[in-house]
Structures are given as C-alpha cells and as structure tokens.
Amino acid sequence: MTDEQEKTAAEPIRVGVLGARGRMGLEVCKAVDAATDMDLVAMVDQGDWLFNASDAGAEVVVDFTTPDVVMDNLHWCIDQGISAVVGTTGFTEQRLDRVRGWLERKPGVGVVIAPNFGIGAVLMMQFAARAARHFESVEIVEQHHPRKLDAPSGTATHTARLIAQARAEAGLGPVPDATKDEVAGARGADIDGVRVHAVRATGLVAHQEVLFGTVGETLTIRHDSYDRASFMPGVLLAVRAVRNRPGLTIGLDALLD
C-alpha cells in the first residue's frame, strides 16, 4: 500500500444521504452515524439544495428517494465525481443504460444500484434463480407496507427477470396457465412471463415469496424484512466498496462473494 492509499484507508468515508428524512433515509443516517469508518456530512431531502452534499465534501452519496427524482440525483452525483449507492426503485434497462452512458464520461466514479440491500433477500433471489430451471410453474407474491409508492416492488421485478433468464437458458417454455382473467389483474402482473402479485397491508414492512411447482411438489422460498435495520449491513457494505468499483454494479451479489 502506498502512503496515499494508507491515508485514504484510514480516513473516514464522507457520506451524504439523499432522501434523508424518509423511512429508509432516517435509518441510513443512523447507521452511517454509528459506523466508525464513516462521517455523515450531508442530509438532503426534497426542497434541499443537492450542492449541500458536494459542498460538504461527500465522497459517497446514498440515495433512497423516489423513482421520479433518482435519475436526476444520480446524473448530478456522477457529474460531480461522487460515487453513489442507490436503493431507490424504478430502474428499467433503459435507465441503467443511461447511467452507464454518464459513467463512461467519468471513469473513476462507482455506482451500486441494488433492488434490495437485505442480505437474506439477496440470497432469496439467488436461491430462486437456482431453483427456476427445475420447476414448470412459478409465481411471486410480494408484500409491503401501504405507503410504498410503486408496484410491483423492485425486488419482485428483479427476481422475475432472474427467473425468466434461468428458464430461457434451460429451454423451459411458458409457465402453464389455462385460466382466463375474468377480472383484469386477477392473475397479477406479467414480468417476462412470470406472474407477480403485490399485496399492501398495514403492519407489513417488506416480504416476498417465490412459489415453484412441478408434478407432485411445490417449493416456497420466502424472505421477510421486519425492520428497515435489515437493509443497513448491505448499505454499509456498498458504501465501503463503491469507490473501489468504478462503473456500474447491479445488486449486492458481487460484493458478497
């Protein structure tokens, strides 16, 4: 390690949080504040000036805002040369391509976008992708608190895409289903051929079941986040890693290996 690298390693990471007064933002501020290797230098919410983060010298920004503002936030971070850890949902392939385009012009900047920072949720998605080729049927049921703005969840969408990819690679055809949708939506949303059902109820935080079926047996893979603290080890892991990962990293999988 050079002297410069040693100095950098020893100095706390200066972190700014966007969406700091939201449900996740509050929890992230607490976790960053409690981490001895990080300094919480900026808390930015709607109506605040984004430059508060750069003026405070943020090296990493964590974004838990809303799908309609996250792209502008991310573009701004990359332009400023600030690496970003993003939990906000709403990332389509087109959006990810735009982020890649911005990053090409700022080769030193890292961005981690994860649909779910819960370690158990990451494993649930990996297990589901692994199981997918062995079952002809599959459906996803995600359950969340009723103040969630989007449906289906980013986690469910990502899981459906992983399953669809595994099924295609295994040469599986469409999921068998003779049912006629008498009422629109009764069979849930179709994401790449996988049915996804979204439940909203007071008392829930973030939960997902992936139900697989084949002749004579079913397999259910379930994950539950009962508290937003469950996302914090994943968020802190990404904050520690992101500056050493230039370009775009999607999901926590590569950081956990």
Ligand X SMILES: O=C(O)C1=N[C@H](C(=O)O)C[C@H](O)C1
Ligand Y SMILES: NC(=O)C1=CN([C@@H]2O[C@H](COP(=O)(O)OP(=O)(O)OC[C@H]3O[C@@H](n4cnc5c(N)ncnc54)[C@H](OP(=O)(O)O)[C@@H]3O)[C@@H](O)[C@H]2O)C=CC1
Residues identified as active-site: 144, 148
Toward ligand Y, which CB reaches closer, 26 or 168? 26
DSSP assignments along 122-159, one per residue: HHHHHHHHHHGGG-SEEEEEEEE-TT---SS-HHHHHH
Q: Is 98 flagged in the annotation as binding? A: no
Is 251 near ligand Y (CB under 6 A)? Answer: no
Q: Nearest approach, Cβ of 38 to ligand Y (angstroms)?
A: 18
Toward ligand X, which CB reaches closer, 56 or 250? 250
Q: Tell me phi and psi for residue 129, to 5 degrees.
A: -65, -35
Report 216-245 residues binding ligand Y (CB under 6 A). Answer: 231
Is 22 near ligand Y (CB under 6 A)? Answer: yes
Exactly one of 14, 15, 19, 38 binds ligand Y (CB under 6 A); that residue is 19
Pairing of strands 83-86, 189-191: unpaired
Q: Nearest approach, Cβ of 101 to ligand Y (angstroms)?
A: 21
- The interface mask with ligand Y, positions 141-180, x = CB under 6 A, is -------------x--------------------------
Q: Is 154 flagged in the annotation as binding? A: yes
Is 144 near ligand X (CB under 6 A)? Answer: yes
Query: Of 12-20, 93-101, 146-154, 235-243, which part binds ligand X (CB under 6 A)?
Result: 146-154
Return the bridge partners of 137, or none: 213
Q: Is 115 flagged in the annotation as binding? A: yes
Is 83 near ligand Y (CB under 6 A)? Answer: no
Report 154-193 residues binding ligand X (CB under 6 A). Answer: 154-155
Find which of ligand X, ligand Y, none residue 8 binds, CB within 5 to 8 Å per kind.
none
DSSP assignments along the chain, one per residue: --HHHHHHHHSPEEEEEETTTSHHHHHHHHHHHH-TTEEEEEEE-TTS-THHHHHTT-SEEEE-S-TTTHHHHHHHHHHHT-EEEE--S---HHHHHHHHHHHHT-TT-EEEE-S---HHHHHHHHHHHHHGGG-SEEEEEEEE-TT---SS-HHHHHHHHHHHHHHHHHT--PPP-----SSTTTT-EEETTEEEEEEE-TT--EEEEEEEEETTEEEEEEEEE-SGGGGHHHHHHHHHHGGGS-EEEESSHHHH-
Is 153 near ligand X (CB under 6 A)? Answer: yes
Find which of ligand Y, ligand X, none residue 144 binds, CB within 5 to 8 Å per kind.
ligand X
In whole angstroms, give the CA distance from residue 257 to residue 242.
15
- Residues annotated within the binding site for (S)-2,3,4,5-tetrahydrodipicolinate are 145, 154-155
Residues that bind ligand Y (CB under 6 A): 18-19, 21-25, 44-46, 64-67, 69, 87-89, 114-117, 154, 231
Residues that bind ligand X (CB under 6 A): 89, 115-116, 144, 148, 153-155, 206
- Residues annotated within the binding site for NAD(+) are 19-24, 45, 87-89, 114-117
